[in-house]
Amino acid sequence: MMPYAESLHNFTQQFDYVLEQYKEHGISMNQIDNIVLGGLGGSGITAEIAKSWYFTSCPKPIETVHNYTLPAYINERSLVVLNSYSGNTEETLEMYEQAKAKNSIILLIASGGKLAEIAKQDQRYFIEMPTGYQPRMTYGMGLGFLLMILGELMGDDTRSELEKSRDRFASEKESQIESAGQIFNYFASSLNQKFVILADNNYLPLATRFAQQVNENAKLEAFVHPIPEANHNVLESYTNRLPTNFLMIFSEDHQRVAARFDFLISHLEMENNKVMPLVIPSFSFHSLFDLTYRLDWVSVMMAEELGANLDEVPIIMNLKGFLADLEIIEEAAEEEDE
């Protein structure tokens, strides 16, 4: 298994893999009525980011599912794209069976496992990911493939955009890691506090990704709130000085939303709270990869400072073992009933 930090250093290889391995699906927008992107964890957050990118431009509704159950409305005119790096995510496998039962158009992404076996058996469109990665570190490939799939539907030149981002990564790597260090240094003295990330609609999935990395890498609490929604409720809990690290992620694309962030920052700073604003001039294709890359490095620096093991998630593995044992017990009970 490639160490987490090493996969970050070699991140441009993920762009190359997508550009080399993507194969056209040949589906047109007039063949479908809706799109469902399914996946969990690192495979699931890329679905949210892809949905966010096409939120204002895709003429068909895009739904994301991170559970066992697909929407009731899916049918033979639904495009269902399922991504599981291991190929064995039980929720994703259940989604597949539901989509198959509804005769939906199904595209699959995995590195192997049961999903790869199913793809071969049922002769499905299948993109094979390389093995040897931490699942959450296949972000570049997972998002890249989803953007290529949706871009083909939309008639976009996604390949050129990915090539541009890859080239920028090659030249900006040192500055990206340096900026990550600046964010880390700001919060270094208060890592014992929980993190609250507030983000606008465009960057909400990227904020969620960062929270997930803080959870898994640094083993710290991190929570996400959307703006403007949180201004209608959570705002009232921001009284006095709180044991919290606040990170604000937003663009200047919407003047009223940006003004809400300005108010929040001023309000929290007046109470001497720890607040860092990350203002991105405009929501862009490159920022989907660039901002996530920088924040991934921040989570790595946090883990190293705290002595947390980046490459192990013992509680998650314990849960998987518990569920596997539960399945054995359920199967034994069913055999007894027979």
- Measured in degrees and rounded to the nearest 5, phi and psi for residue 37 equal -110, 120
- Predicted local distance difference test score (pLDDT) of residue 50: 98
What are the boundaries of each domain within the chain? 4-156, 173-306
Task: Give the SS3 label for residue 189.
Answer: helix
- Predicted local distance difference test score (pLDDT) of residue 338: 52
Q: Is 14's pLDDT higher than 60?
A: yes
Section 320-333 average pLDDT: 70
The half-sphere exposure of 197 on its side-chain side, counting CA atoms within 13 A, is 25
Section 127-148 average pLDDT: 96
Identical topology for domains 4-156 and 173-306? yes
Q: What is the C-alpha separation between 320 and 323, in angstroms, rounded?
A: 5
Distance of CA 34 to the CA centre of its chain: 21
Q: Is 1's pLDDT higher than 80?
A: no
pTM of model > 0.85: yes
Give the contacts of 329 (CB within 8 A, at least 6 positions apart): none
- Predicted local distance difference test score (pLDDT) of residue 328: 61
Quickly state the pLDDT bin for 337 (edges 50, 70, 90). low
Q: Which architecture does CATH list for 173-306?
A: 3-Layer(aba) Sandwich (3.40)
H or E element that contains 100: helix 90-101
- Predicted local distance difference test score (pLDDT) of residue 225: 98
Section 237-261 average pLDDT: 95
Q: Is 332's pLDDT higher than 80?
A: no
Q: What is the C-alpha separation between 227 and 235, in angstroms, rounded?
A: 10
Written out in words, the top-level CATH class of the domain with range 4-156 is alpha beta
Q: Is 81's pLDDT higher than 60?
A: yes
Q: Do 5 and 299 contact (CB within 8 A), yes or no?
A: no
The overall average pLDDT reported for the chain is: 94
